[in-house]
Amino acid sequence: MYEILLVVYLIVAIALIGFVLIQQGKGADMGSSFGAGASATVFGSSGAGNFMTKTTTVLATVFFILSIVLGNLTAGQIKKTDQWENLEAAPAVETVNDAASDIPVEEPKNTNTDVPN
């Protein structure tokens, strides 16, 4: 469930970024640069909102709701795995023997019979 919500969260975030970048700004109309009165209304010169602004609002709402849900799920997972009361004592330090004493050493044998001693 967490992974599915995370994938949906990423898709919503990318879609939200795309919709915000595609939209034209409220003050970008030609009349607003010359002081037209229609662009200074409460909802701007385009009215209460078109498909792009309504979709951006819905995506932003879904983004914030998913942020809260994923944050709560993550906080619950951290509480389950990070329990300070059940920690055991640290393991004792293990002593390591000298490495040279572990290797068997053999006396070199003279296998060459051709050379007299």
42, 78 contact by CB (below 8 A): no
Rounded percentage of the chain residues whose pLDDT exceeds 90: 25
Single pTM value for the model: 0.51
d(C-alpha 110, C-alpha 117), whole Å: 10
pLDDT band at 14 (very low <50, low <70, confident <90, very high): very high
pLDDT tens-digit series, residues 80-116: 655 555 555 556 677 766 666 666 667 667 666 666 6
Reply yes or no on whether the pLDDT at 23 is more than 90. Answer: no
Could you identify the residue written with the tokens 């010169």? 45
